[in-house]
Amino acid sequence: MKKRGSILLISGPSGAGKSSMIKELKKEMKDIYFSISVTTRTKRDGEVDGVDYCFVSKDKFEKDIKDGSFLEWAKVHDNYYGTSLKHTVQAIDEGKLVVFDIDVQGFLQAKEKIGELITSVFITTPTAKELKNRLLKRATDSKEIIEKRVKNAYDELKYASRYDYFIVNDILEDAKRELLSIAEATRAKTSSMELDSFIKEWS
C-alpha cells in the first residue's frame, strides 16, 4: 500500500518562534514539503521571493481567489495570505509531510476542507509581554504594527483549544523537540481512506 502524505499545520502569533522551529524540522526530517504562502505584503530585508513567500500583487491574488486556486486564504494586517491548492495536493500524493505555517482563519478553512489529513499545532510565547519583547528585539515592524500584532495574538489564542497540540515556546530547544515529536507522529498517522484500501488488499 502506497502511503499518502499528511499535513502538519502550525499556527501562532508572529514572534512566537515558529520559523526557527520549522527550520529544525527541515534539518531533521526527510520527505518534508514546506508550503510557501502566497502574499501581497511587502518583502522584508533578507527575504527571497519563492523561498520565504511568493510575493504577488493584490490584483493577482484576488484573481486567484476567484479561480479557486487556494486551499485557504485570509486577510491579515491588511495583506492577503494564501496556500496553493495545486502544490499541496501534489506533495500529499508524493507521500510527503506537508508543513503549513498559517493563521487561525486559514486553519479553520483548511480543517473544514481536508481535516482528516491535518494534525494541528498552536505555538505561542509564555506571556503577552514576552511576545512584545521578541517583536521589539526582531526590529522588523513599527511600534504601531507590534501593538497590532500583540492585540491579534489575544484573539488568536481564543482558538487554541481547537488545535490538536499546544506548545508554549519558553525554551526554544525544548519547543523544537516537542514539535519534532509531533511531526513524526503525524507522518505515522493513517487516514480512513488508506485503512480501507489496506483492508481490501490484506483480504
Distance CA 83, CA 66 (A): 14
Binned at pLDDT 50, 70 and 90, residue 175 comes out as very high
Mean pLDDT of 97-124: 90
Q: Is 95 helix (H, G, I), strand (E, B) or coil?
A: coil
Task: Examine the pLDDT at 126 and tell me if it is beyond 80.
Answer: yes
- Percentage of the chain exceeding pLDDT 90: 49
Helix ranges restricted to H, the chain: 18-28, 58-66, 85-93, 104-114, 128-138, 143-157, 172-188, 192-202
pLDDT value at residue 168: 96
Task: Examine the pLDDT at 106 and tell me if it is beyond 90.
Answer: no
Mean pLDDT of 143-172: 93
Distance CA 44, CA 126 (A): 26
pLDDT value at residue 198: 64
pLDDT value at residue 113: 83
Using alpha carbons, select from 124, 134, 129 the residue that is nearest to residue 169.
Answer: 124
Using alpha carbons, select from 8, 9, 14 the residue that is nearest to residue 169.
Answer: 14
Give the residue extent of every domain in the chain: 6-202
Quick one: DSSP state of residue 105? H
Q: How many Cβ atoms from other residues are within 10 Å of residue 200's Cβ?
A: 9
pLDDT value at residue 180: 95
C-alpha cell at 70: 487556494
Binned at pLDDT 50, 70 and 90, residue 155 comes out as very high
- C-beta of residue 110 within 8 angstroms of C-beta of residue 102: yes
pLDDT value at residue 191: 59
Phi, psi values for residue 74, rounded to 5°: -155, 160
51-103: pLDDT as tens digits = 889 999 999 999 999 998 998 898 877 899 999 888 888 898 888 999 999 88
Using alpha carbons, select from 107, 94, 142 the residue that is nearest to residue 11.
Answer: 107
* The CATH number of domain 6-202, selected from 3.40.50.10440, 3.40.50.300, 3.40.1190.20, 2.40.50.140: 3.40.50.300
What pTM was computed for the model? 0.81
Using alpha carbons, select from 104, 102, 97, 110 the residue that is nearest to residue 81.
Answer: 102
- C-beta of residue 197 within 8 angstroms of C-beta of residue 49: no
CA atoms within 13 A on the CB side of 151: 8
